[in-house]
Amino acid sequence: MAEWLAVDSDRAGRVNVQTNLSVPGHPNIFVIGDAAATTGPDGKPLPGVAPVAKQQGWYVANLLMARAAGKTPPAFRYRDFGSMATIGRKRAVAQLGAFKVSGLPAWLLWSLAHVYFLIGFRNRLAVATNWAWNYVTFQRGTRLITGISGSRIEDVMPVVMTAPSMVADVGKDPSGRGAPIPLRAELHRQQSPQHA
Ligand SMILES: Cc1cc2nc3c(=O)[nH]c(=O)nc-3n(C[C@H](O)[C@H](O)[C@H](O)COP(=O)(O)OP(=O)(O)OC[C@H]3O[C@@H](n4cnc5c(N)ncnc54)[C@H](O)[C@@H]3O)c2cc1C
């Protein structure tokens, strides 16, 4: 995005925004969430997590309303309400200010919080039902691509990978007669096992 806007970014490519989350030199363009490089009150970079993105969204919405009313709101300030992480099938850790909890109570808190913060009753019901089903059927909610066999194009498309002309001339039919060969990324998307 920084490249697209032709503005400064940090090493991760996140746009270095002003304290009101606008792009330097463009007071009416805002960058928020994972795409923005912002710092907390301690001067450290804010993490790329959902609470940061949500608070920044609220901030910009309020800023626009304030501007429309002829006011200039103060700089964005992130409020850290705590952190939670699951560490097993029914265990988690949570720290909310000075309050710390772990094990099953933390896992229940984590589950409730994630469902609660979804938008709309339908989404909450769908996610809760999915989770309950995955839980009782022992299905994994998230699959990580770790480089194991089956996760790379070489594993699923050995013919393509051993045909240099097709790899080199992606998008072209090597014979020059038939339909265009799909790009490698497209082949991967069409033929690889499901990655979630
Ligand atoms: C696997 C994983 C697990 C995570 N777990 C957690 C967690 O447990 N807790 C937590 O707080 N955070 C977690 N995060 C981080 C969290 O998801 C992000 O910080 C948060 O979603 C950032 O919100 P965002 O609005 O900046 O970006 P996103 O939520 O990524 O939203 C960006 C949206 O823009 C759309 N988009 C992209 N390009 C274009 C375009 N050119 N035109 C139109 N639309 C476009 C995308 O499709 C997407 O919908 C996780 C992230 C990942 C990847």
Query: Is 145 among the domain residues?
Result: no
Helix or strand or coil: residue 53?
A: helix
Question: The CATH number of the domain where 7 resides is what?
Answer: 3.50.50.60
Query: Is 74 among the domain residues?
Result: no
Query: Is 37 among the domain residues?
Result: yes
Query: Is 88 among the domain residues?
Result: yes
Quick one: pLDDT band at residue 103, thresholds 50, 70, 90? very high
What is the spatial distance between Cα 13 and Cα 1, in angstroms, rounded to a whole number?
Answer: 8
Query: Is 124 among the domain residues?
Result: yes
Judge if 125 and 87 occupy the same domain: yes
Identity (one letter) of the amino acid at 9?
S
Q: Verify whether ligand 1 is closer than 6 Å to residue 53 (CB atom).
A: yes
The total number of structural domains in the chain stands at 3
Instruction: Give distance in angstroms: CA of 34 to centre of ligand 1.
Output: 7
Q: Verify whether ligand 1 is closer than 6 Å to residue 145 (CB atom).
A: no
Q: Verify whether ligand 1 is closer than 6 Å to residue 49 (CB atom).
A: yes
Which structural domain range is residue 132 located in? 83-137
Query: Is 117 among the domain residues?
Result: yes
What is the spatial distance between Cα 187 and Cα 106, in angstroms, rounded to a whole number?
Answer: 42
Please list the residues that pair with 85 across neighbouring strands: 93
Domain end residue (candidates: 68, 92, 124): 68
Q: What is the pLDDT of residues 105-142, one digit of tens each?
A: 999 999 998 899 888 999 999 999 998 898 888 876 65
Judge if 93 and 64 occupy the same domain: no
Does 17 have pLDDT greater than 90? yes
What is the spatial distance between Cα 91 and Cα 105, in angstroms, rounded to a whole number?
Answer: 8
Query: Is 148 among the domain residues?
Result: no
Judge if 101 and 133 occupy the same domain: yes
